[in-house]
Amino acid sequence: MAENGSPPAWRRGGQRQPRPRRARRPTIGLVTANIHLGVGASLWSGVLEAAEREDVNIVCFPGDALTPGGAPRNALYELLDQAALDGAICWTSTLGLPVGGERSAALVRRLAGLGQVISLNRALDGHETLLLDSYAGMRKAVGHLVEHHGRRRLACLRGPMANPVALDRFRAFSDALARHRIPRDRALVSASLDYAAGAGATAMRVLLDVRGLRPGRDFDAVVACSDVLAADALRLLTERGVRVPEDVALISFNDSVEARISDPPLTSVALPFGELGSLAVETILARLRGVRPPERRVVPGTLVIRRSCGCPSPLVTQGRAAPGPPAESAESAPGPLDEELLAAFHADTVDTAGTADDDGSFLGDLERRVGGIEGFEDVAAWDRALLRLRAAAPADPRTERLLGQARLIVADKSRRLLEYDRWTLEQESRRLRVLSTTLTTAVDLSEIDAALGRHLPQLAVPGHRLVVAEPDGAVEQGPPLPPADGERRFTAVLEPLHIGDEPLGYAVFDAGPRGFAARHGALYRALGEQISAALKGVRLFTEVRRARDAAEQASSFKTRLLGNATDELRSPVEAILGHTTPGEPAHEEAARLLRLIDDLLDLSRSEIDALGLDRRLLDPRPLLAETFQDAAAGGHLRLPRRLPALCADPDRLRQIIHNLLTAAGRYPDLSVDVAPPRLTVLVTSPELAAPPHEPAEDERYFQPFAAGGPGGRLGLAMARRLAVLHGGSVTLHRGPGPFGFRLDLPLPTPAEPTGPRAASAPAGGTLLVVERALPEAATVARRHGLRPHRPHQDDDIATVVAAHPPAAVAWDAGQATPQEWAAVRRLHDHPALRDVPFLLYGPIVGRDLNQALHALRPSGLAAPALVVGGSAASRERFRRLLTGVLPGRTVRAAADGTAALALLAEEAPGLLIVERVLPDMGGFELVERLWHDCPVLMLSDEGFTFADVRRAEPHPGLVMLGRGILTDAETARLLTSLTSASQRQQRAADPAPVRYALAYIEQHYRHRFSRWQIAQAAGVSEDHLGRLFHRELGLTLWEYLTRLRIERAKERLQRSDDNVQTVARAVGFHDRAYFSRVFRRLTGVAPHAYRDAS
């Protein structure tokens, strides 16, 4: 058991100093299902108020209702006899006592051991009981429906049948019907399973759908035993077109939040749970002190009238009140209006000249008084007092204006209180999210405790303690509560910590100020859930760390053992090889033994992931020929004249081939076939006998130590393991031809060095060939039924891939021209070909295709252009434009900033075209990461701001442009001017005026403005700005503005249903006819035709 936490308020102050003895303060426990839902929060508030008034310590145990099987939170009740309580208040009815089960019986025994216990709302094992008079409340509800509204066909949503409170209320409902001589119809009664969300709607569906009752005819009123059930039923009736209260009246119980926020608001029996909690504290204190307790044992309820029963709203009745003097004057029942305020009011009503001092006037005094209000109940009291004053005051215009303004002051205070509550909840939610994020990163208990110590005081929880259960769930320590005779009174809330049924311990929270604790019962449960999740995460992290440490220790031991075994086993065999000569039997056997030792050690290393690969692109043909020459005494080697590059570890690939050849016998045959997406090596021999054609036998063939089979099993197992590490496979070859082994290795792809797995062949039937004369590509296409296709440099690759799905891309790197290299680079970079294998023939170096292409880049080739962001169609459009503007220059594309940064790391671009907003970063962020100056064209769909202009100041070569403003020809001229050294010198030395002008236009295009205003924003004269703007973008200011407005109009026509006139005005045109003419001139169609086409 571990205890952690920042000390609650009762534990602060350092070492305890001696102090005079004082009377011991009682400590009372509150045993309840919850303190955050509806009536639970009301009772909690009453208990806190009485405890503060009577100077009593409170320890709360909100452990949920008891169930026969036991709920995880019920474990909290096991701490009752460890909390040093003087007595307890048990809300028996919410706990569901008595109920079967060991935990229920144990709770009753623990309560009996406390001595003084007050049971609420239900008798419990001889303890003193305080009751809420639900019976009288139900009688009032039924009487109101029958006598005031004439409803006599009453249905009842009775709540769960096993719930004692619901049972008592249903009995009261039945007795009330009998009192009014209304027979009870069983068909009009429906029970809910529980009080969960949707339970009321389910119970109402039983009446409507199962029993076929018709609202308004078969029943004209509904009495629900809970506001929760009534609110659900109201929503269902409204959805089905049943009017409440016109067709069906509705009354419920508890007067909770659900009743007040429903539409219409629910008439409800308000049971004073807060008053019951306060009475319980007073009663148990009287018993503990040996004095006479309060006389009351039953707390009556009241009927709160709202609109759901058919009564009008109180605001309506106030407005209907007939003028005239009331029964009592405002002075006789002033409420919050004291004599000073009333005197100010009378002085202001008679001061017709308006000479009263503003600071001492009625309204000024009222505003100061109302400013100190902290609750909505006080606001309502002030409003009622003003209404009474209005009824008592003479009816004259000055009085009406004065009281109207006074009520506005009160209403404004109510609004500010509501906004403050909303703001407080938002802040609390934000702080909880911050705490949750902090807790998720904790890796041990001390970090959890430190996070709680930092964040809980911000949530008005001054202190906490954590008691963490042992791994077996045992909690041996009682709650760390303060001494009963401490200097400060305390209120503690206990929260169980658990994940599912796994107990993790419990937390003790200092409840803090009464006002906060009463309103935020849900906070403690939320904190408990967050701490539970963090503790579980710490446990899992600890288990994983221990398992990792154990695995690392075992791996380290095995690595050392393998290292020692390598030396011990290899040394004598190498000595034999040193004392013999090649060709001698002893030398040959020693060499074979050494290979077996190496295979055995490699197999062991692979099982602990200690066998690394040093992969690189290589030509496999020389390696295959050399290995065949070393390992085979005879046989046939059939290799094509050239083979495409593979990405493999040369030493390990040689080991794979050598082991397969050794397992095939002395006279094997080796052949190679290029079958995209793989390269296949067949090793066959007439000496090999094929096993039965069964999967189990095939697997047994590759078992390293399988008995009863031919030799070489260890070598085969190792070859298979190495092939898998390369992304390939080794299987048995059963024909055509002799029996043998088949090695499949993936051809390299742009996506990853190892390429796709051999089993996932592309479905394409086309071989993209970058040059015409490539005999090897023609052979591959003929053997495997592929259609050769040579893409043109102007082809849209996405279109080509869609029309001719490729199986591979083939290129002879030995005779590369700049045009071919640029074409291959373009194919390599295109997302549609990321998983397509490349057949590269010729001298290849590098660890992957990207490095290989970089090494093959022709000397003197100009820096590439890079297009970043936008749609695939937009990137292809710029590629076509750049291909025409910059012939022979490579154009690379990236969909987001991350991909662009990877390309920038490989090669600095000569031109950058980038979107202002990228999927993963801003365009300016990418520009700022350029380590050299290069021309930049930045595009934006949403315009540029003056902040963008300031951010662009360090980049003189950057040009900002709205998307869609320029035509293709104009864009091509702009790109030429950006990349041409001579034209760059002619551009403005200071691009700031043009940028500020463009930002001004983008921000104000909806409004009318003059050229002078743009020039003012740019900081230059009108004529000079016009020349600079035209030189930069090739357009005049007004032409740019007109095109921008048309682009925004096109967007509105596509996205909205606004008429043409509205669209025209929204983008700055005030004449529809002129707008239509300009739109047709720039787009070729009328606005309505453009919308229809879109």
Q: pLDDT digit string (tens) for 24-33? A: 789 999 999 8
Between 882 and 1039, name the one with better pLDDT: 1039
| Segments forming the whole domain that contains residue 1085 | 1051-1093
Q: Which of 703, 729, 760 is the last residue of a domain?
A: 760
- Which range is least confidently modeled, 159-173, 578-592, 721-735? 578-592
Residues 104 and 194 in one domain: no
pLDDT digits over 949-970, tens only?
999 998 888 999 998 999 989 9
Band the pLDDT of 242: cuts 50, 70, 90. Answer: very high
Residues 188 and 122 in one domain: no
Highest mean pLDDT: which range of 420-429, 703-712, 989-998: 989-998
Q: What is the DSSP string of 187-255?
A: GGEE--S-SSTTHHHHHHHIIIIIS---BTTTBSEEEESSHHHHHHHHHHHHHTT--TTTT-EEEEES-
Residues 81 and 154 in one domain: no
pLDDT digits over 931-940, tens only?
677 899 999 9
Find all residues with CB under 8 Å of 689, minimum gap 6, and list them.
710, 739
Q: Is the pLDDT of residue 1081 over 50?
A: yes
Residues 139 and 68 in one domain: no
Identify the DSSP state of 863.
Answer: P
Arithmetic mean of pLDDT, 179-183: 91
Question: For residue 806, how far is the Cα from the chain centroid?
Answer: 39
Arithmetic mean of pLDDT, 829-858: 87
Highest mean pLDDT: which range of 323-327, 880-884, 997-1001: 997-1001
Q: How many folded domains does the chain comprise?
A: 4
Contact predicate 738/671, CB 8 Å: no
- Which range is least confidently modeled, 411-420, 434-443, 788-797, 955-964? 788-797
Q: What is the CATH number of the domain that holds 1070?
A: 1.10.10.60
Residues 103 and 16 in one domain: yes
- Domain membership of residue 211 (yes or no) is yes
- Domain membership of residue 1057 (yes or no) is yes
Q: How far apart are CA 770 and CA 766, in angstroms?
A: 13
Q: Which of 494, 519, 544 is the last residue of a domain?
A: 519
Residues 83 and 163 in one domain: no
- Domain membership of residue 846 (yes or no) is no
- Which range is least confidently modeled, 259-263, 276-280, 510-514, 665-669? 510-514
Band the pLDDT of 72: cuts 50, 70, 90. Answer: confident
Q: Residue 357: is it exposed, middle or buried by C-beta count within 10 angstroms (0-12/13-18/19+)?
A: exposed
Residues 138 and 268 in one domain: yes
- Domain membership of residue 988 (yes or no) is no
Contact predicate 728/745, CB 8 Å: yes
- Which range is least confidently modeled, 19-28, 68-77, 192-201, 1039-1048? 19-28
Predicted pLDDT of residue 400:
84
Q: Which of 725, 760, 795 is the last residue of a domain?
A: 760
Find all residues with CB under 8 Å of 880, minimum gap 6, and list them.
794
Q: How far apart are CA 723 and CA 742, in angstroms?
A: 11
Between 575 and 385, name the one with better pLDDT: 385
Residues 140 and 251 in one domain: yes
Predicted pLDDT of residue 79:
86
Q: Is the pLDDT of residue 710 over 50?
A: no
Identify the DSSP state of 299.
Answer: E
Band the pLDDT of 11: cuts 50, 70, 90. Answer: very low
Residues 168 and 246 in one domain: yes
Arithmetic mean of pLDDT, 284-312: 89
- Domain membership of residue 1083 (yes or no) is yes
Residues 70 and 91 in one domain: yes
Structure token pair of residue 166: 């619901």
- Domain membership of residue 908 (yes or no) is no
Q: Is the pLDDT of residue 7 over 60?
A: no
Share of the chain above pLDDT 90, in %: 29
Share of the chain above pLDDT 70, in %: 87
- Domain membership of residue 6 (yes or no) is yes
- Bridge partners, residue 57, by sequence: 27
Predicted pLDDT of residue 567:
62
Q: What is the CATH number of the domain that holds 114?
A: 3.40.50.2300
Band the pLDDT of 17: cuts 50, 70, 90. Answer: very low
Residues 148 and 255 in one domain: yes
Q: Is the pLDDT of residue 759 over 50?
A: no
Average pLDDT, whole number, for the chain?
83
Q: What are the strands, taking DSSP E only, across 13-86?
A: 27-32, 57-62
Between 916 and 371, name the one with better pLDDT: 916
- Domain membership of residue 67 (yes or no) is yes
Predicted pLDDT of residue 913:
94
Q: Is the pLDDT of residue 66 over 90?
A: no
Highest mean pLDDT: which range of 246-250, 574-578, 663-667, 984-988: 246-250
Band the pLDDT of 543: cuts 50, 70, 90. Answer: confident
Its pTM stands at: 0.53
Residue given tokens 């059939």 in the structure block = 638
Work out the number of other CB atoms within 10 angstroms of the CB of residue 1083. Answer: 16
Q: Is the pLDDT of residue 860 over 70?
A: no
Residues 198 and 250 in one domain: yes
pLDDT digits over 892-907, tens only?
888 898 888 888 877 7
